[in-house]
Amino acid sequence: MFENKIEKILTKHWSEIDPLKIRDYLAVGGYSALKKFIKKSNREKILEEIKFSKLSGRGGAGFPTGMKWEMVMSQEKKEKYFICNLDESEPGVYKDRTLAENNPHLLLEGIIVSALVVGAKKSYIYLNGNYEKANNILAQAIKQAQENGFLGEKILDSDYSLQLEIFSGAGAYICGEETALINSIEGNRGEPKLRPPYPAESGLLGMPTVVNNAETIANIPWIVLNGGKRYANCSTKLFILGGAVKKRGVFEASIKTTIKEAIENLGGGILDGKDFWFAQVGGASGRLFLKEELNVPVSGSGAVLVVDKNANIYDLLLSWAGFFRRESCGKCVPCREGTFRLNEIAQRLRDGEISDRDKIAVEDILWTLENTTFCPLGKFAATAWRDAVEKLKIFSK
């Protein structure tokens, strides 16, 4: 039987600790990374370790974390912000919520150390408004961290201070995009801004801002304690297995895990009596992989949805199109109109009323979404449809 032989970094204490009790986290060595940082007070050294670690963003784009922090640290402006992105509004993706619900103090410790290293005095957790349980757990954890001197004024009697606030979003998918997220915290409409300037240069209230994904941040305490070089050799990641597999849920495994290994080893293989058709990797915006394409590492948000041959592809196409039509923020015409029209065609396709004109229109709409939209959400709307047309040959049936 397969053994997931890794040193767990993110999920290690999930079964041992009560997330509502800071003493449980302290009992397993919690807040040691913060204590180490406060004692040595060497921000440049920690930055160097993060760069050695080759930690890359777990929010989907995989941007090197050390490089992002360095950009903010090199800015002369005194006011800086640190934001933990816990919007996670993509269907089938729930790793950050699971992380926050199971070990909130690991996330808080990561946020505190990261914010202090980049030079922020104010930080936010941008939390999906539908995540009520995570909200309650995180609010309680913040209170406990303050009571224990890990957060607030003069942290552990040092000269460092940090405020941390939960900002509850409305669960809009676009608000996970960092510039839309910043607009939302500022009280503006949740829609993306033109980049550059990037948030590292001009983010929240025009100040240098780091936006990092919750899972990215949860790795920081381990790197501070164990060193970046070690991390580079044993990086892990959270994977979310769903659909026609024997075991569904969130699993921690090597970052190099391939789609095939994720399905067979983490998910326990395909359900008995089911025949594998394809896997969608990365949530509703993810590509589709056929049987012969599974020997590549899982990319993006780490979600793997296994679809078997009994699935109704027309229902799936409609659910993807409907999601992006609802979530298009409406700022640019190609996405606002494109997602609307794709959804209309998806309805006709499901009802067996598709015309040759519709088939030609799909090609036009996909091209427009892929090439002309203001932000990546438009491209995301086309990804699974493109693969359904080209790999699953939905129009040749």
Ligand X SMILES: Cc1cc2nc3c(=O)[nH]c(=O)nc-3n(C[C@H](O)[C@H](O)[C@H](O)COP(=O)(O)O)c2cc1C
> What are the residues binding ligand X (CB under 6 A)?
57-61, 63, 85, 87-89, 173-174, 176-178, 211-213, 216, 375-377
- The dihedrals phi and psi of 371, each to the nearest 5 degrees, come to -115, -15
Distance from C-alpha of 213 to C-alpha of 373, rounded to nearest angstrom: 24
Pick from ligand X, ligand SF4, none: which does 36 bind, CB < 5 to 8 A by kind?
none
Q: Rounded to 10 degrees, what is the CA torsion of 336, 337, 343, 345? A: -170
Beta bridge partners of 111: none
Provide, rounded to whole angstroms, the least separation between the CB of residue 70 and ligand X: 13
Residue with tokens 């807040």: 31
Q: Are 369 and 362 in contact (CB under 8 A)?
A: no
Nearer to ligand X (CB atom), residue 22 or residue 174: 174
Dump the DSSP string for 118-151.
Answer: HT-SEEEEEE-TT-HHHHHHHHHHHHHHHHTTSS
Pick the binder of ligand SF4 from 328, 343, 368, 383 (CB under 6 A).
Answer: 328
Nearer to ligand SF4 (CB atom), residue 146 or residue 372: 372
Pick from ligand SF4, ligand X, none: which does 94 bind, CB < 5 to 8 A by kind?
none
End-to-end Cα spacing for the chain: 40
Pick the binder of ligand SF4 from 260, 336, 348, 359 (CB under 6 A).
Answer: 336
Pick from ligand X, ligand SF4, none: which does 374 bind, CB < 5 to 8 A by kind?
ligand SF4
Residues 6+ apart with CB under 8 A from 357: none
Residue with tokens 């058709």: 277
Pick from ligand SF4, ligand X, none: which does 2 bind, CB < 5 to 8 A by kind?
none
Pick from ligand SF4, ligand X, none: which does 330 bind, CB < 5 to 8 A by kind?
ligand SF4
Provide, rounded to whole angstroms, the least separation between the CB of residue 384 and ligand X: 14
Stretch 359-378 residues interacting with ligand SF4 (CB under 6 A): 373-375, 377-378
Dump the DSSP string for 17-52.
Answer: --TT-HHHHHHTTTTHHHHHHHHH--HHHHHHHHHH
- The dihedrals phi and psi of 307, each to the nearest 5 degrees, come to -115, 130
Nearer to ligand X (CB atom), residue 171 or residue 268: 171
- Closest CA relative to residue 225, chosen from 352, 40, 58, 377: 40
Nearer to ligand X (CB atom), residue 33 or residue 263: 33
Does 335 participate in binding ligand SF4 (rule CB under 6 A)? yes
Does 382 participate in binding ligand SF4 (rule CB under 6 A)? no
Provide, rounded to whole angstroms, the least separation between the CB of residue 173 and ligand X: 6
Pick the binder of ligand SF4 from 55, 174, 214, 223 (CB under 6 A).
Answer: 174
Provide, rounded to whole angstroms, the least separation between the CB of residue 212 and ligand SF4: 21
Interface with ligand SF4 (CB under 6 A): 174, 191-192, 328-332, 335-336, 373-375, 377-378
